[in-house]
Amino acid sequence: MNWRRYFWPVVGIAAVIFSLLLLWHELRGISLDDVWDGLAAIPTRGWILAALSSVIAYAALAGYDHIALLHIGKRVSWLFVTLCSFTTYALSHNIGGSVFSGAVIRYRAYGTRGLTGQDVGVLVAICWITFVLSTILAFGLVLVFEPQIIDRFSGIAHHGLSEAAGIAMLLVVAAYVFGSWLHLRPLKIASFQLHYPALPIVARQLLIGPIELLAAAAIIFFALPEAHNPGYFVVLGVFLVSFSVAQISHAPGGLGVFEVVFLAGLSDMEPVGVLAALLVFRLFYLIIPLFLGLGIVLFFERSQFSRTES
């Protein structure tokens, strides 16, 4: 048995169990009726804006695949790419290990459109780079303009250190752009080659990528109560920290991990209201897309089976 096949799944499950225990300890005084009241307190306008933010987030995620296909010079129909991207992220966000699970889904889908394994590998790499680059850019801006965001997790003022870290992140993004301008040599790993994106591709990465993060954070912001609401920029910062930790934990859907970190970041707000907003986020960003994605997969596999039979 290859232990490496089971290492990250075990880590993810352990992270879920540990986080759920912390979450239970944090919310043990809150009943289901309290949570329901929190959801009922969200105004209709908040539900509508949260739903629209989710649509924008997934539209931006589709842009990841369009950017990657433009980079490798492959033409695939706009509708197919959009549906493939939506399904990939809808499933991988819930499964965990989004890079690897997303690669499997993309390989199955894009293989039917003539892309090779190496093409899909480059596509996955560009999508991952777009996400990481966007996170660094957004987080860098948050740390520069809201350096006290780290205080919400540490309890100690680190404003100077936060600003320095934010500037360093922005310099990383600038170095990436500069590397594109220099036309650096491709990265070679055995037969695999990853060419540095051209400046027009980089411009698209820096535009489309952050939109997804901004929209995803907006889902929670619009569902939060107005009382003690710290504002969108702070919510964005807490979201970036929570989402990043959830991704690193490899917990399926970031279950428990995301909630624990987010509640810690907004500890000055009523936990019931924050928990209700997080449930809205899971509904619009994870649960509904998961069911829609499964329906797309079933339709795709049925159509492929019909073609094989004919």
Averaged pLDDT, 55-59:
95
Q: Write the pLDDT tens digit of every residue in 211-270.
A: 999 999 999 999 999 888 888 999 999 999 988 888 877 666 677 778 888 888 888 888
**Residue % of the chain over a pLDDT of 90:** 37
Q: Write the pLDDT tens digit of every residue in 162-218.
A: 889 999 999 999 999 998 888 887 777 666 678 888 999 999 999 999 999 999 999
DSSP string, 52-112: HHHHHHHHHHHHHHHHHHHHHT----HHHHHHHHHHHHHHHHHHS-HHHHHHHHHHHHHGG
User: What is the DSSP code (8-state) at residue 111?
Assistant: G
User: What is the DSSP code (8-state) at residue 112?
Assistant: G
Q: From CA 129, how far away is CA 108, in angstroms rounded? A: 21
